[in-house]
Amino acid sequence: MVRALMAAQEFSWHAMSIEDVVRERGTDLDRGLSSEQVKQLREQFGPNALPPPPKPSVVMQILGQFLNPFVGTLLVAAGIAVGVATMGQEPGAPRGLARFSDAIAILTIVIINAFIGFYQERKAEKALDALMKLSAARCKIRRSGEIVHADARQLVPGDLVLLEAGDKVPADLRLVSVTELQTIEGELTGESTPVEKVADTMLPETAGVGDQVTMAFSGTTVVHGEARGVVVATGRDTQVGRVGKMLADVVKQQSPLEERLEHFSTQILWVTLALSATLFVIGFVKGHVAWHVLLLTAVSVAVAVIPEGLPAITSITLALGMQRMAQRGAVVRKLAAVETLGCATVICSDKTGTLTRNEMTVRALVVDGHALDVTGEGVDLAGEFREAGEKVATLPDAARQAVLAAVIANTASLLRRPGVAPQLTGDPTEGALLVLGEKADIHRDASMEGREELLTIPFNSARKRMTVVTRERVEGKDALVVRSKGAIDVLLPLCTHCLTEHGVVPLDEVRRATILTLAEDMSAKALRVLAMAERRMEDGAVDRDSAERGFTYLGMVGMIDPPRAEVKEAVEAARVAGIRVVMITGDHPITAVAIAKELGLWRDDAISLTGDDMRRMDDAALNEVLPKVRVFARVDPEHKLRIVKLMQARHDVVAMTGDGVNDAPAIKQAAIGVAMGRGGTDVAREAADMVLQDDNFATIVEAVREGRAIYRNIQKSIFFLLSSNAGLCIAVFAASFFSPQQVPPLTALQILWINLVTNGLPALALGMDPPESGQMHEAPRAPEAPIMGRRDWLGIMLVGGLMAAAAMAIYALPIWAGQAAHEVERSKLSMVFTLLALSPLAHAFNCRSRVASIFKLGLFSNRLLVLAVLVSGAIHMMALLVPGLQPVFRTDHTWTLTEVAVTLGLSLLPVPAFELAKLFKIGAPKAPVAA
């Protein structure tokens, strides 16, 4: 009893004998546990459920949104603006509540951005909650000699559980007796075919989860047979529970965009502090302006340097990208996810249900003298038969006999309803044979008319075949027909004859060798081979022993879980974009490699590794071969997590796709996790950043395209804002070295107006710019690359310097001869104010592409940008022309045609300057690459 209380993970239960398991768990195989044992064990192990994960409080999540140097700088600026507005005011500035408009504008942006981040983070807490659903089941157990139905949460280690077809396995069980038991473990191992279970075999301790045939795992489903098993692990000690623990231990990494924006914000912070402090000191030393006005001006410059609209513009740009992805069948659970996928260098994809259809499909039918290809995928009933590339109008009789045997020796069912896609129930392999029959116009229900089913000998792991005996009319009299399907190496030795185009002939050694060679060729192509045979007998008594002998071999089929039709093109698009696609699956390596070759994943120097290979390799050895590995097969959840971590250690941006429980930890660990919406589990979906509603791998490539476009658009917005702000700041900084009479400085309100009002809309419109052509031929962006490169910073300073030089040139123009000094001062200030507001609007069109001329792109190809420029220009005109606003912005003077022409001409200077830079391909992106 003491040993029965030991932790489940201390034992390799699959490798222990039934007697040892019973002894360790203190179980009576006839009576089960007693009530007293159950009570003690429940106190020791607790309920059979996954523990609830710790959740951050709402307050901490909200506060976390403000722990960012970018946001912090804005909050400090808002606080200073409030303080200055409270202490004193610049002459002509607004009164009342309007004094606080600067702070209100900044705080509004900060609060909206924080709300969006908080809302997205709350969704992540559902991942482990979804795991809890896997334990919510009822089960049949034997306790104190009686069979009872109980809540699966009440199970304890040592309980004796009874399983039958259709049951959900309630805990990890060591099987003690088995009758033709098969379970579906796809959610745990990634394999789509049923796994045959046995009880009385010895396995090595190193056997992977997919090879532990003496175990039935929690959360898997029984599809055939029945069994008894002793509970050896409950709750978090089960295989599903271990996945949950790994998921809880995974720390989500920052996205590349989040990292770059944080680093970028820190840089802007120091630049802001330096400029503001310098400007304040210069003004204080010169003594021309009151200190509180200087402080407000310094704060205004700080706000001008910081692109405070960037958080909102980034969030809106990502949100619009999320909407576009939703229209393509992808639901983005985190705004930054689309952008992150855009810089992915590796996509680790599960095979079953992601790259393949998760539907067994017959690809080949081989009968004497004919090798037929079968078209159509999954439950598509519209396929046809082809021989040597030509459509077969009428199937040979031998082929029809073989298909008929496969359809009758079958326990699956095909449900067809008008307007609804056909639905298969039962074993996927047998379902594929029913679909084959439909393509041959051989329907099981119709075929059974006039046939009486007398005996069914089910498939099991020892027999490797299924046989059905029917009574039917043969050549005008009642007879017994025995039809069987099974493994070629098992069924062929039971055959004495074979069916040919010329009738039934003896199966000699030459024919036998030819059949086996054809079967080996199909196996080498990763096809699962099944043979069909029949025997005709006189009507009478029949039993198992007498039925399965003297068969006539009819033919064989080759089937596979086929790749999705659209995946090959998507894989090629990823390769051209410099993204490596790696298959990670629990399936057999031969099958996985064959699928990889069919999809174009495989390269001449590629290699595959299995879970056993990985167990024998340390991280250094695995890391050395990692770039060449295109297929990981027979892997466990721990392996997937290890693979992703090693790739991230190589500075790869990893996207992990999958649909099963086993994928969830790696999905969460990856820079972006992508789960399947239709066939995926709740666990995978809740751990993912993006869910594909159509389960379409090709949608991922569209997400890459969208992600690259979004990041590029964010760069455009940042470049636009910083270059425009640079012109404003350089002009203000240069003006501080002159007396106000020589160079009338911009007021704090004018600075904020230019920065917050006229620049915001064009920046947002740039965030919605259409994708540039050729972006999927560029190399993935390096994760460590700054959001603004050296060329970008050089461009920012050059454009800013050009705008500032144009502004300073206005002060030196000799066009005001004979006018009063105060009129000249007001004219110069209005022109500079307008130039620094309009010049960025013209520059916005430059920012659409680093290499393409705005005339090649088309001025109206981004109509939102045209509208934003017109609206921003109109808003600025209000400050110039509305009488009530003119005194506030110091623009109350009458413009001359000369002033208008000079201002507009100087405002357009950035356009020809940028066109020259594009002509010489300055700042062009990296050359095309292929992974």
Provide the pairing of β-strand 551-560 with 495-500.
parallel
Cα–Cα distance, 626 to 631 (Å, whole number):
10
Q: Which of 350, 368, 561, 792 is catalytic?
A: 350
Look up residue 353 and give its two tokens. 């249900």
What are the φ/ψ torsions at residue 307 (nearest 5 degrees)? -80, 75
Closest C-alpha among 811, 828, 836, 825 to residue 753: 836
In angstroms, the Cα distances linking 652 to 340, 343, 644 are 12, 9, 9
- CB within 8 Å of 758: residues ≥ 6 apart: 837, 838, 840, 841, 872, 873, 875, 876
Find the farthest-apart pair of alpha carbons in the chain and give their distance in angstroms, rounded: 128
In angstroms, the Cα distances linking 534 to 461, 462, 485, 515 are 21, 20, 9, 16
What are the φ/ψ torsions at residue 459 (nearest 5 degrees)? -75, 140
Our CA angle for 732, 734, 739, nearest 5°, is 90
Cα–Cα distance, 253 to 669 (Å, whole number):
7
Cα–Cα distance, 42 to 218 (Å, whole number):
18
Contact 774, 856 (CB under 8 A): no
Q: What is the DSSP letter of 370?
A: E
- CB within 8 Å of 654: residues ≥ 6 apart: 344, 345, 346, 347, 348, 644, 647, 648, 670, 671
Known catalytic membership, residue 350: yes
CA atoms within 13 A on the CB side of 103: 17
SS3 track for 23-64: HHHCCCCCCCECHHHHHHHHHHHCCCCCCCCCCCCHHHHHHH
Q: What is the dihedral of CA 81, 804, 272, 750, to 10 degrees?
A: 10
Closest C-alpha among 88, 79, 143 to residue 107: 79
Cα–Cα distance, 392 to 735 (Å, whole number):
86
As annotated, the active-site residues are: 350
